[in-house]
Structure 1
């Protein structure tokens, strides 16, 4: 009886400590950059955490500012560590133990320069071909938002005259404006070279080809990439329940493409697109919530949470 009493008391103390630890992590602060894929995955994580009783804050910054905020502890999580293109920005902070890299949340991605298929067929198949057709490209390469890691790689190529690109100018805009430029060029059969990546609906919307030769900058296999989850130092120890969810968050190219298509082409707000997809795919919600509790320590009901995501996309 005495042994049983001690065990009950011990269990009560441990439960109290677990609940107390959970209560110390009542808000999760995400950083995002102005990319639809990161907005999509962050919206999935955000909606799940809110269903579990957490407050969520999302701040939109450049890649460099996002990593600076992670290192300073001003944000907790970033789901968009595209590797190897982000190595120059992310790796020094990870090596300095100011930022932690968790597991991969997406395999099989790609990120490098691309051209419309008709430009590829005309002879632009390799990074070294770009400068040969400088006049047709009007000496422009289209990137996305300023400070983006892909832009930084292009600027490095221009500044070092890699592939003879010194005469070129990087046009730093945004994902939407860059895609509008691609759309206009394809419509008029004009030449354009631009940053492209997968997953993204641009791969279905446009007939494009990724260029060879950028291995030293964007990685082998035409910019083959893996996307990792990053956190501020110590976050996983302070918020183990959230860390379990983050470890579980593995996405697929198809899943991200479907959510991004809703956001970009159907003009569905990103949080609603994430909720709709989870309602339609409860098995994914169940996998993501494996071993995860509510913030107060209660067991989750993944089916009920998936059902709670139901909404009308036009609301």
Structure 2
């Protein structure tokens, strides 16, 4: 999965209402945000990057404060702020259900304070591909967008749906994509694998 994010974000409605697209847009709106960026657990790499940006006055954030808390507390604060119509900046990542619930808008980083987009890869042990060529082919074909994965997380974590039910619904909704996962894959009888 390409295009994963781990960076400061704002809810989509805040981005639209205030025209916030970049970390460079924050300081001009500092009073609206209370000059706070909500992070996660103390010592996390994301918090350390935020604190370094504050310490170095990157993007004019030198007078801002990092509010470190646990992930659940940060997400609860985002929800509370959004319900109250208060702008908030928080450490976001995708894929995660926050991208669905808060329509998280990840802030551009023209000065490259953050590492940029990441990716999630499937890793197997040495020899797996030789021993399991069909499964290896399936895994190499398997791909989801961060939006799809975020929706899966939302459906399970926030809506309480069972994983098997989420998968079945997704297969019904997008059989062509699922069929692409099976390109070049044979079943146990040596036939083309099908849904």
Q: TM-score range by the shorter chain?
A: 0.5 to 0.7
Q: What is the Cα-based RMSD across aligned positions, in Å?
A: 3.8
Q: CA deviation at 1:269?
A: 3.3
Distance 1:189 1:278, change over 3 A: same
CA distance in 2, matches of 1:285, 1:123: 38
Q: Which residue of 2 aligns with 1:114?
A: 9
Q: 1:193 aligns with which of 89, 100, 111?
A: 89
Equivalent residue, structure 2, for 1:263: 156
TM-fit CA distance, 1:156 = 3.7
Give 1:284's aligned residue: 177
Q: Partners of 1:218 and 1:208 in 2: how far apart? A: 17
Equivalent-residue separation in structure 1 for 2:45 and 2:36 (angstroms)? 18
CA distance, structure 1, for counterparts of residue 122 and residue 111 of structure 2: 24
Does residue 171 (structure 1) correspond to residue 68 (structure 2)? The answer is: yes
Q: How many residues align?
A: 192
CA distance in 2, matches of 1:170, 1:150: 12
Give, in whole Å, the separation in 1 of the partners of 2:125 and 2:52: 29
Unaligned stretches of 5+ residues in structure 1: 1-104, 307-315
CA separation of 1:234/1:169 partners in 2, compared to 1, >3 Å: closer, same or farther?
same
Query: CA deviation digits over 1:248-278, x for unaligned, max 9?
Result: 1122355334423422442113354234323
Q: Which structure 2 segments of 5+ residues have no match?
A: none
Q: TM-score w.r.t. structure 1 length?
A: 0.47
Worse-matched range after superposition: 146-155 or 244-253: 146-155
Task: Please tell me whether the aligned partners of residues 259 and 277 of structure 1 are also in contact (alpha carbons under 8 angstroms).
Answer: no
Larger Rg: 1
Note if contact 2:47-2:66 (Cα within 8 Å) is conserved in structure 1. Answer: no
Per-residue Cα deviation, 1:194-236 (whole angstroms, up to 9, x for no partner): 13355555455446544333551335xxx5x352315266365
Q: Does the CA contact (< 8 Å) of 1:141 and 1:194 recur in 2?
A: yes
**Aligned-pair CA distance for 1:141:** 1.8
Native 8 Å contact 2:22 2:108 kept in 1: yes
Change (3 A) 1:143 1:234: farther
**CA pair 120-251 structure 1, distance change in 2 beyond 3 A:** closer
Q: Is the 8 A contact 2:9 2:91 kept in 1?
A: yes
Tell me, in whole angstroms, the C-alpha distance in 2 between the residues paired with 1:123 and 1:291: 46
Judged with a 3 Å threshold, the aligned counterparts in structure 2 of structure 1 residues 163 and 289 are, in CA distance, closer, same or farther, namely same
Instruction: Report the secondary structure of 1:169's partner residue.
Output: strand
Question: Which structure has more helix as a fraction of its residues?
Answer: 1
> Is the CA contact (8 Å cut-off) linking 1:282 and 1:302 kept in structure 2?
no
